[in-house]
Amino acid sequence: MENRKKEKNDEQDIIERVKNDGIRFVELQFTDLLGSVKSTTIPAHRLAETLDKGIWFDGSSIEGFARICESDMVLRPDISTYAVLPWRPKDKAVARFLCDVYRPDGKPYESDPRFILRQAVEEARSMGFEYCVGPELEFFLFKPENGGNISTTPATHDVAAYFDFSPKDLASDVRRDIMIALEEMGIEVEMSHHEVAPGQHEIDFKYGDALSTADKAITLKTTIRSIAYLHSIHATFMPKPIFGQNGSGMHVHQSLFDIKTGKNIFFDEDSDTKLSETAKQFIAGQLKFIREISAVVAPTVNSYKRLVPGYEAPVYICWAQRNRSSLIRIPRYSPGREQSTRAELRCPDPSCNPYLAFAVMLKAGLQGIKDDLKLPEAVNDNVYSFDGDMRKDRSISTLPGSLGEAIDEMKRGSIVQACFGEITFNKYITIKESEWDRYRIQVTAWEKEEYFSG
């Protein structure tokens, strides 16, 4: 009773805030299984009713959602995600809420990515842990051509390199406007810079709990695309848009915190590595199950064009302290910054659905703790310099080489199905197998050039 009373008071506060902000329209956003943002728009005067009862929508047309015979779904706004969209005109002000998806009977919809992450987070909390993450999303900016279209060989927005400054970095103004918009939406930006490849950039925001961070990752992508459009350029989170250049990753820094004390459970003063046994078990779990969760954290055909040797992307399944060629990197420990102890998983890319990616990453790590897995020896040398025999001697295996291989690993494994549930797991498999088949049967320009005269 007390909880519902508090919810009602919070809802009244939000309704008043919407009124004071001069909001005319409200976007109710959610994601499909692939991470695409979907939305329905209501006039602001309908918000009170929507907060009370939710709003109906047809789930049968959403990728990975309901069949046509069970299409009715209900959106319920999460009032903690309220934000005004700063790129919309003030006289037609628009706010947004991220929503949870429910069935008509009031039960959470099992294929809602937010619900799947909530379940994984609750499992961690039942073990006494709060899972916190900090994703680093990279992206490319391209010049639209032919009246605003992106051609098959688009030109990058600039030719600058890693950490270059103006005038080479033509996107400094774009990144500035993106940062301003994010701050206005309540996201604390930590830094932005030009990345390694021409036209490639990164904007980082503050580390936080997994669910709110996934919300922020979705918001970041929407904001980057929207602000880029206002500058008449195109933003893409495609992992490998340019052959011969570095691809875009979404490295994820992760820690577990004690839900009672707030202390970082990954830190141990008496350990040579400063990693606790729990941290080692968590990392061991991710190393053990990484091949079977790859189709979630690196979910597209194009993801595996990035995950190749030679472009700073992780390929080899090992961990190290400070070694950027490893799959999991442990950033350098600094006295006084014990709360910052973390493990950086480097294979995810920004084409993933962050809710699902964080969920399977957490599930794999928790399984490592439950099974008391032992962490292999660190590999502090450059793994790219190892030949096949050296990797074999060190028991260093590799990530899947294609989406098809990743799907097979996921089907043989247990972690993703345990995380998603059987219904959603089968939906995800069907979607990914269809994507792989559409790619597999294509006749590409490379094949024509290579074989046409044969």
Contacts with 374 (C-beta within 8 Å, 6 or more apart), sequence order: 280, 284
Catalytic residue, chosen from 32, 112, 202, 292, is: 202
Work out the pLDDT band at 311, boundaries 50, 70, 90: low
Catalytic residue, chosen from 7, 13, 58, 63, is: 58
Is 4 an annotated catalytic residue? Answer: no
**How far apart (Å, rounded) are the C-alpha atoms in residues 319 and 325?**
9
Crossing angle for the helix pair 172-184 and 210-230, nearest 10 degrees? 130
Domains contained in the chain, CATH given? 2-109 (3.10.20.70), 118-451 (3.30.590.10)
Is 251 an annotated catalytic residue? Answer: yes
Catalytic residue, chosen from 324, 332, 438, 440, is: 324
Is 324 an annotated catalytic residue? Answer: yes
**How far apart (Å, rounded) are the C-alpha atoms in residues 97 and 180?**
19
**How far apart (Å, rounded) are the C-alpha atoms in residues 201 and 435?**
27
**How far apart (Å, rounded) are the C-alpha atoms in residues 127 and 259?**
9
Is 70 an annotated catalytic residue? Answer: no
Cβ neighbour number for residue 390 with a 10 Å cutoff: 12
Predicted confidence (pLDDT) per residue in 362-395, tens digit = 999 999 999 999 999 988 877 766 666 566 656 7
DSSP 24-43: -EEEEEEE-TT--EEEEEEE
Beta bridge partners of 421: none
Element (H, E) at 345: strand 343-345
Mean pLDDT, residues 220-234 taken together:
93
Give, in order, the Cα–Cα distances in Å from 146 to each of 143, 154, 235, 241, 413: 10, 10, 17, 19, 46
Predicted confidence (pLDDT) per residue in 37-69, tens digit = 999 999 999 999 999 999 998 877 676 665 544
The confidence score (pLDDT) of residue 68 equals 46
Predicted confidence (pLDDT) per residue in 94-152, tens digit = 999 999 999 989 999 999 999 999 999 999 999 999 999 999 999 999 887 654 455 55
Is 344 an annotated catalytic residue? Answer: yes
Is 136 an annotated catalytic residue? Answer: yes
Is 346 an annotated catalytic residue? Answer: yes
**How far apart (Å, rounded) are the C-alpha atoms in residues 101 and 91?**
30
Catalytic residue, chosen from 32, 136, 292, 349, is: 136
Is 202 an annotated catalytic residue? Answer: yes
Catalytic residue, chosen from 112, 130, 169, 195, is: 195
The confidence score (pLDDT) of residue 313 equals 77
